Amino acid sequence: MLTDRQRMILSAIIDNYIQSAEPVGSRTISKREGVGFSSATIRNEMADLEELGYLEQPHTSAGRVPSTKGYRFYVDNLIQPRNISEKDLFNIKQVFADRISKMEQAIESTASILSQVTNYTSIVLGPEMFEHRLKHIQIVPLSESQAVAIIVTHTGRVENKLLDLPVGVHPGEIEKLVNILNAKLVDVPLWQLRQRIYQEIAGEMRRHVEQYEEMLHMLENSFMTEEADRVFLRGATKIMNQPEFRDVDKVKDIMELFEQNDQLIRLLDSPAEGLQVRIGQENGLDAIKECSIVTTPYYIGGKAIGVVGILGPTRMEYDKVISVLDYLARGLSTMLTNQFDKK
Amino acid sequence: MLTDRQRMILSAIIDNYIQSAEPVGSRTISKREGVGFSSATIRNEMADLEELGYLEQPHTSAGRVPSTKGYRFYVDNLIQPRNISEKDLFNIKQVFADRISKMEQAIESTASILSQVTNYTSIVLGPEMFEHRLKHIQIVPLSESQAVAIIVTHTGRVENKLLDLPVGVHPGEIEKLVNILNAKLVDVPLWQLRQRIYQEIAGEMRRHVEQYEEMLHMLENSFMTEEADRVFLRGATKIMNQPEFRDVDKVKDIMELFEQNDQLIRLLDSPAEGLQVRIGQENGLDAIKECSIVTTPYYIGGKAIGVVGILGPTRMEYDKVISVLDYLARGLSTMLTNQFDKK
DNA sequence: TGTTAGCACTCCTGACAAACGAGTGCTAAA
DNA sequence: TTTAGCACTCGTTTGTCAGGAGTGCTAACA
């Protein structure tokens, strides 16, 4: 659909704009190395590209700026993967070199290095709690009527939840309950817990534990975990380095978005597979209509369990971000698989 | 030192400036209700107040703006406590009406309501982990070489830490250790744990537990907890509503400060007692040299365990903030004392 | 037929001046 | 001691103008 020359020019314009943040004129492109055409020729092509919707003109006598469609085409067809710089590579490898034993720590470090290397905001989504497998459960009474349920997963994650104890329950009963649970439910993924309890444990409990109905009810609660702390956000202020975000109102909208974990989860947790780039309004959120988001899932043993992502201006260094993101997601996947995949 | 009239005028100027964010002229004050003097008189007084250092003039033909010294005097001498509005009072009471059983939740809610009611950023410092008393300790092995130590406190807080197990330790030994600890150390404040272990437990351990030296060493680690998650920050973006923070560079510095929990802790964790106001440069941090911080401690059973604070522009509604902060800190103290004070 | 030089045109930007007005300090009179 | 009056200051707004970056179009060239 686009001629080779148009692709070349579009690519040059976007490269230039990403670098300068200023509308790009025909002369600038004409003078670029490897472009053997006069500014007039470029001008004609630019007019065509604008007509086709790949470029926009802020005003008559300004240069051109890529449109969403332009970026889309650039990302889908024109980008070539960029090698990660020695320095960045070194820093990234550093993260994976440390022996990290808790999954959360690994994810957190990933988020940090990602933001540090790209100079954009990183958002990383940890695995849904439900995917973890039970390692140990414990119920610690705090008072007559309350207790904390503690769930340790095979990933080293510790989740806790406050419970209301059934009236008049005896501590011994709780202990019995916990013993049964630990004996029967180790290595069961959390999402199966409820089901397994009713199928396999209920019978046994009825025999051994008083007030087992109430206890069961209480337990269900403790398996409902917060989604909120799955999100790791790093470098939130980085967007303020961008010249197109010198406006406090824009920044405010974005920072307010960052305060809402549920929104961030929605933003990353897309059904699609593989590396994804969402440009400008494609995100659907008004606050980030001038931002792009690049995401890619990471895996344990072939199963996608979370998402790493970068949020930056639409005028983002897509080639670098994509390379780094891809590399990091692979590294993280390998590491987590080695550490946590069921043997 | 200042005449009554000067105090009145200073107060009027600051009130006005807080409300309008614009330099205040003599005419404006002269026209205020209850001020029976002409603008010329006010002008003379203003010149005096400027000479004394309470006011500043952005430029010759502008009105006056309070200096740090001016605010200081205002806060220390001129403010009268303002009644909290019905609506705010209702909202605040709502928070304490909910039965909140985890201390952290209570503190978090306090931070939220504080920011919501004042429209400034709230920063709340939870109790040092060391102040909590041990309710239960548990060590859950994750693998041959690693385990998670879990500490539950009487406040319902659950802290966990990854441990490296001594080589070749037997699970039974760990169990023995945990049993001894739970038998001996319940209700001991965390800061005493180390000491008590060496004094009281070491002997018993030597008798019953193999590799007790290594185990002890490992344990010490688990009593070192993160300070970072003591801080609750709410309404970070509120500062961007202020006209004097329409500048992205200022905002960026502040938001970057907000990302550093250790700095926030340092900011709140002052040795002084009671309600404190630090104005502008008094905070010592460049990022918030145009901000003020109002803090006050809260208590359990008469002992200060944390700090609630508000960060806003120097041009802050001190009277309202002070009233609300005081009220909330009292409420929180009462609530926590009822809930968690050792009987 | 594709390319390019040339040129008129558009429109943003920055500089400068003028008008405006908010506020001041000072003086003199009440 | 207070205040009316007034000249003065200085930041802000408005308007004008020149400069320049960039465009689209046309005509000539290879």
DSSP B308-342: EEEEEESS--HHHHHHHHHHHHHHHHHHHHHHHS-
CATH number of the domain to which B109 belongs = 3.30.450.40
Q: Which secondary structure element, helix H or strand E, spans residue A296, and what is its range? A: strand A291-300
Q: What's the half-sphere exposure (Cβ side, CA atoms, 13 Å) at B338?
A: 11
Question: Tokens 């009713």 — which residue?
Answer: A198
Chain A residues 56 to 95 whose Cβ lies within 7 Å of strand D are: 57, 60-64
pLDDT beyond 70 at A40: yes
- How close B301 comes to chain A (CA, Å)? 19
Which range is least confidently modeled, A71-80, A227-236, B218-227?
B218-227
Residues 135..174 of B with a Cβ closer than 8 Å to A: which? Answer: 135-136, 138, 140, 142, 146, 148, 150, 152, 154, 156, 158, 160, 162
Q: Average of pLDDT values for A222-235?
A: 80
Mean pLDDT of A180-209: 84
Contacts with B324 (C-beta within 8 Å, 6 or more apart), sequence order? B84, B88, B92, B114, B117, B118
pLDDT at A130 over 80: no
**pLDDT of A164 strictly over 70:** yes
Instruction: Give the whole-number percent of chain B exceeding pLDDT 70.
Output: 98
| B162: nearest CB among A156, A237, A246 | A156
- What's residue B339's pLDDT? 87
* pLDDT computed for residue B215 by the predictor: 79
Domain count, chain A: 3
For residues B242 and B329, state if they share a domain. Answer: yes
CB-contacts to strand C (7 A): A 36-38, 40-41, 44, 58-62; B 22-28, 39-40, 43, 46-47, 50, 57, 60-64
pLDDT for the residue B122: 98
Mean pLDDT of chain A: 91
* The total number of residues written for chain A in this structure: 343
Q: CA B72, C1' D4: Å apart?
A: 35
Domain that holds residue A190: 130-222
Between CA B219 and CA B228, with CA B225 as vertex, the angle to 5 degrees is 165
- Residue among A154, A156, A100, A94 at smallest CA distance from A328: A94
> Could you give the count of Cα atoms lying within 13 Å of B319 in the half-sphere of its Cβ?
15
Are A23 and A65 found together in one domain? Answer: yes
Name the helix (H) or strand (E) containing A125: strand A121-125
DSSP string, A134-203: EEEEEEEE-SSSEEEEEEEETTS-EEEEEEEPPTT--HHHHHHHHHHHHHHHTT-BHHHHHHHIIIIIHH
Among the three residues B198, B222, B246, which one is the final residue of a domain in this structure? B222
Q: Which of A150, A154, A153 is nearest to A137 (CA)?
A: A150
* Tokens (6 digits) for B227: 């300070």
For residue A202, what pLDDT is reported?
Answer: 79
Q: What number is the average pLDDT over the span B212-233? A: 78
Q: Is A272 or A231 the better-scoring residue by pLDDT? A: A231
**Same domain flag for B18 and B37:** yes
pLDDT at A122 over 70: yes
Per-residue pLDDT band for B249 (boundaries 50, 70, 90) equals very high
Domain boundary among B222, B240, B255: B222
Q: At what angle do helices A318-340 and A103-118 cross, to 10 degrees?
A: 170
Averaged pLDDT, A22-44: 93
pLDDT at B197: 83
Q: Integer distance in angstroms from CA B39 to C1' D8?
A: 17
We report the CATH number of the domain holding residue B28 as: 1.10.10.10
Q: Domain check: are B167 and B117 in the same one? A: no
Chain centroid to Cα A58, Å, comes to: 33
Query: Over the stretch B2-57, which tens digit does the pLDDT of each residue have?
Result: 999 999 999 999 999 999 999 999 999 999 888 889 999 999 999 999 999 999 99
Q: In what order do the strands lie in the sheet with A146-153?
A: A134-141, A146-153, A158-164
- Residue A227 scores a pLDDT above 80: no
Please compute Rg for chain A using Cα positions: 26
Verify that B71 and B195 share a domain, yes or no.
no
Residue A228 contacts B, CB cutoff 8 Å: no
Give the closest of A150, A240, A259 to B252, CB-based. Answer: A240
Distance B44 CA to C30 C1' (A): 18
pLDDT for position B314: 98
Which among A289, A283, A280 is positioned nearest to A68, based on CA atoms? Answer: A280
Q: State the pLDDT at residue A218.
A: 79
**What is the reported pLDDT for A342?**
66
Q: A137 and A98, same structural domain?
A: no
How many Å from the CA of A82 to C1' of C3? 34
Please tell me whether residues A121 and A134 are part of one structural domain: no
What is the pLDDT at residue B200? 81
Give chain B's mean pLDDT: 91
Which residues 77-106 in chain B show a CB within 8 A of chain A?
101-102
B160 is written with which tokens? 């966990």
Q: Over the range A208-232, which residues count as b (16 or more CB within 10 Å of their CB) and which as e?
A: ebbbbeebbebbeebbebeeeebbb
Q: CATH number for the domain including B156?
A: 3.30.390.60
Tokens describing residue B222: 């688990």
Say whether B22 sits in a helix, a strand or coil: coil
Distance from CA of B47 to the nearest CA of A (A): 35
| Distances in whole angstroms, Cα of residue B34 to Cα of each of B6, B8, B12, B18, B29 | 14, 10, 10, 19, 10
Whether residue B343 is predicted with pLDDT greater than 60 in this model: the reply is: no
Please indicate whether residue B153 or residue B101 has the higher confidence score (pLDDT): B153
Give residue A16's pLDDT: 97
pLDDT of residue A172: 86
Q: pLDDT (tens digit, 9 = 90+) per residue, A106-120?
A: 999 999 999 999 999
Render pLDDT for B195-221 as a digit per residue (tens, 0 to 9): 888 888 888 878 877 787 787 778 777
Which of the residue ranges A188-192, B44-48, B104-108 has the most confident prediction, judged by mean pLDDT?
B44-48
Confidence of residue A228 (pLDDT cuts 50, 70, 90): low
- Residues B190 and B59 grouped into a single domain: no
Q: CA-to-CA distance for A242 and A281, rounded, in angstroms?
A: 18
**Which of A102, A245, A259 minimises the CB distance to B236?**
A259
Phi/psi at A282 (5° precision) = -55, -20
Which of residues 59 to 88 on B have a Cβ less than 7 angstroms from any strand D atom? 59-62
- Chain A nearest-CA residue for B239: A252
- Kindly determine whether the C-beta of residue B38 is less than 7 Å away from any atom of nucleic acid strand D: yes
- Tell me what pLDDT residue B116 has: 97
Distance C27 C1' – B41 CA (angstroms): 14
| Residues A207 and A233 grouped into a single domain | no
Confidence class for position B228, pLDDT limits 50, 70, 90:
low
Chain C positions with an atom below 7 A of a protein C-beta are: 3-6, 9-12, 21-27
Give the bases of strand D that a protein CB approaches within 7 Å: 2-5, 8-11, 20-26
* Residue B170 pLDDT: 86
B26 Cβ contact list (under 8 Å, min separation 6)? B39, B40, B42, B43, B46, B63
**Shortest Cα distance, chain A CAs vs residue B78, angstroms:** 34
Which helix (H) or strand (E) segment is A126 a member of?
Answer: none
Assess whether pLDDT exceeds 70 at residue B226.
no
Q: What percent of chain B has pLDDT over 90?
A: 64
Least confident of A80-84, A313-317, B32-36: B32-36
Same domain for A245 and A198?
Answer: no
Tens digits of residue pLDDT in B70-87: 999 999 999 998 999 999
* Å: B50 CA to C6 C1': 65
Q: How far apart are CA B239 and CA A325, in angstroms?
A: 33
Q: Assess whether A185 and A69 both reside in one domain.
A: no
A245 Cβ under 8 Å from any chain B Cβ: yes
The Cα B332–Cα B107 span in angstroms is: 8
Clarify whether residues B122 and B135 are in a common domain: no
B101 chain-A contacts, CB cut-off 8 A: 142, 146, 162
Are A248 and B252 an interchain contact pair (Cβ–Cβ within 8 Å)? no
**Sorting pLDDT into bands at 50, 70 and 90, what band is A332?**
very high
